[in-house]
Amino acid sequence: MCGISDFIDPQKITSHLLSVHKYNLKDNLSEHANPQRPSYALGNEGGLLLCTWPKGGKPSLPFVYCDEVWTGIEYQVASHLMLMGKVNEGLEIVRHCRDRYDGRVRNPFNEYECGHWYARAMSSYGLLEGLTGVRYDAVDKTLHIDSRIGDFTSFISTATGFGNVSLKGGKPVLSTVYGQIEVTKMIVSGKEIKV
């Protein structure tokens, strides 16, 4: 999310994330036992479990929260999948999460973990970058866009202003609503665009 190059083989990262998606994402938790805090996800709901042992060997005293589903982890894994080009897999995780917090059973504005309005769920902001590749470098005053979904309009917020950034037919547009977002360089899909 910070624009640091992968220092691990991207194929290994992608393989790992796809394994987490394959083994930890459950469409239905009816047969899943969670002795800690099952109210995060239960019954016929789906979610991404923190830990699984797909080949057996679960320790007798595993990580205490291993059987739980945390939205903050779901969003992190989903956005990382998207950054690695696995948008559908990432969106599948997000759909399960949003289905649980749709307002019928749980508050859609309070994805509670370890308390109400817990900060880890703010990892959902990573989904914006995961889908659009929008990242602003305030030091270089560079706006990066690397969309995985084609044309889009998205929210952007910086220390000095906020607004919208769009990509239409491969052309970027930044419109500031409040404050200033100083951009001296735009990089779209790895190519510099004149500002």
- Percentage of residues of the chain with pLDDT beyond 90: 83
User: Does the pLDDT at position 7 exceed 90?
Assistant: no
Is-contact 69 48, C-beta < 8 A? Answer: yes
96-111 tens-digit pLDDT: 999 999 999 999 999 9
The span from the CA of 16 to the CA of 174, in Å, is 35
Alpha carbon distance, N-terminus to C-terminus of the chain: 23
151-189 tens-digit pLDDT: 999 999 999 999 999 999 999 999 999 999 999 999 999
pLDDT of res. 123: 92
Residue corresponding to tokens 């042992």:
53
H/E stretch holding 177 reads strand 171-179
H/E stretch holding 167 reads strand 161-168
Residue corresponding to tokens 């970027």:
172
Tell me the two tokens of residue 86: 């696995």
pLDDT of res. 4: 83
The span from the CA of 93 to the CA of 81, in Å, is 10
Can you name the residues that pair with 178 across neighbouring β-strands?
162
CA distances from 180 to 28, 38, 154, 177 (A): 46, 45, 17, 8
The span from the CA of 53 to the CA of 57, in Å, is 6
pLDDT of res. 1: 82
107-127 tens-digit pLDDT: 999 998 888 888 888 899 999
Tell me the two tokens of residue 151: 């044309």
The span from the CA of 108 to the CA of 191, in Å, is 38
pLDDT of res. 113: 86
pLDDT of res. 16: 97
Q: Which fold has domain 133-193?
A: Maltose phosphorylase, domain 3 (2.60.420)
Question: Parallel, antiparallel, or unpaired: how do β-strands 135-137 and 152-157 relate?
Answer: unpaired
The C-alpha angle with vertex 152 and arms to 149 and 158, in degrees rounded to 5, equals: 110
User: Does the pLDDT at position 95 exceed 90?
Assistant: yes
User: Does the pLDDT at position 36 exceed 90?
Assistant: no
Report the greatest alpha carbon distance in the chain: 59
The span from the CA of 116 to the CA of 191, in Å, is 43
pLDDT of res. 9: 95
Three-state DSSP at 29 gives: strand
pLDDT of res. 195: 83
pLDDT of res. 67: 94
pLDDT of res. 115: 83
Give 124's DSSP letter. Answer: G
Q: Enter the pTM of the model.
A: 0.92
Q: Where in the chain is the domain with CATH 2.60.420.10?
A: 133-193
